[in-house]
Amino acid sequence: MEKPAVLKASTPGSHPVIRAVWLAAFVLLLAAVALMALRAFSYPLVALIAAGWFVAGLVAYLIRHARFLGTLARGERALRAGDLAAARAIVAPLVDRYPTFPPVQRLAGLILYPSGDPLSAATMLEGAARSMRDRDLVVTLVAAYAALNKAGDARRAATLRPDDADVRLAVGWAELVALGGDRARGALLAASLPADSPARAAMAATLQAIAAAHRHDAQAVRARLRDAEDRYVLLAADERAFLGYLGGVALRELGALDAARATFTLAMETAPDTIGEALARRERAHLPLGSDSPSFSSDQPSAD
C-alpha cells in the first residue's frame, strides 16, 4: 500500500499548521480592508482577529525555532564532550527533517568525521560551507578529504582558512599520505607545523616521521615517533588512535610491515568507532604480505 504523503516543515521553525494560520490571518486582513472600504462597522473586529492569528502563528514559530536551536546546542555539547553516540542520536532526527539546512549539515559533518565516516562528513560540510565557513567546519572538511585520500580537494578546502594551525596540520597530512599529495610540500609543511599543544606536537612529530620514512631515514622515523609517544599520556583515546594510524603509515612507508600491522591493530583497539580506528582498519587491510625491512631495527617505538 502506498504511504500517504507526509507534510514536513520547510524551515526548522515552521509547520503546516503555522503556515495555515498565517494564511488565514492574511485572508482576514484582506477581508478587513475590504470591509473598511465598504465602511462596514465590523472591520475592526476582523482586523483584530487577523492580528491575533498572526501573533499566535509567530509565537508558535518562535517556540519551535527555539526548540530547534536547543537541539542543535545539545548536539554540539555532546560532540564537545566526546560523546559521539549521544551526539548522533540527538542530531539524527534533524538530519532526517532538514538535510539541506546549513547549521544541521555543519553539525552532522562535525559528528560524522570523528565517528569514522569521512565521506558523509565531507558531503555534509561541503553543503554547509556554501554559507558557513567557521574554523571547525573548515578544519574538519580538510581532514575529511585527507582521510578520503583526496589531496586536491583537501588543498582546495584549505584555501578557506589557509593560516589556521589545524588546517595546516590537515593539509600536511593530505600532502604526505593522500593520493595526489605533494610529498615535497608535505615535508616542508611538516617541518614547520605548530607544536603549541600536546595534540598538535604529537601530530607534527608523526607527520615528520612520515616525511622521514619517504627519505628512508629509519633513525629519524624512530626519533619522531618516540617524540609523539611521549605526549600520548596527555591525549584522549581517539587522538591516540588517530596518531597510531599515522604512525602505522610511517612504518609502512619505511618498509616495516610487521611493525605497521601491529601499530594499526593497536590503534583499532584503542578507540573503536572513531576516525582513527576506521583509517587504521583500512590501511591494515591494504598492507601487503611480508615482514619488516632489514633496514628497520627491532627497537622501533611501540604505540602504547
**Per-residue pLDDT at 1 exceeds 50:** no
Write the single-letter amino acid at 88: R
**Per-residue pLDDT at 125 exceeds 60:** yes
Closest CA to 249 of 277, 285, 218, 209: 209
> For residue 243, which phi and psi values (nearest 5 degrees)?
-65, -30
> For residue 256, which phi and psi values (nearest 5 degrees)?
-90, 75
- Residue, of 55 and 299, whose pLDDT is higher: 55
Residues 143, 186, 141, CA angle at the centre, nearest 5°? 15
* pLDDT, tens digit (0-9, with 9 covering 90-100), for 48-73: 887 887 888 788 878 888 888 899 99
8 Å CB contact between 110 and 78: no
The x, y and z cell numbers of residue 289, run together, are 604480505
Over residues 34-57, mean pLDDT: 81
Closest CA to 29 of 48, 57, 14: 48
8 Å CB contact between 132 and 106: yes
- Give, in words, the CATH class of 195-304: mainly alpha
* pLDDT, tens digit (0-9, with 9 covering 90-100), for 200-246: 999 999 999 999 999 999 999 999 999 999 999 999 999 999 999 99
Residue ranges covered by each domain of the chain: 12-81, 195-304
- Only one residue has cell 553516540, namely 85
Would you give the distance in Å from CA 279 to the centre of its chain? Answer: 15
Contacts within 8 Å (CB) and 24+ apart, 1-8: 8/97
Q: What band does 290 get if pLDDT is binned at 50, 70 and 90?
A: low
* Mean pLDDT, all residues of the chain: 88
Question: What's this model's pTM, rounded to 2 decimal places?
Answer: 0.80
| b/e sequence 151-169, b meaning 16+ C-beta within 10 Å | bebbbebbebbeebbbbbb
**Per-residue pLDDT at 195 exceeds 80:** yes
Residue-level pLDDT at 303: 39
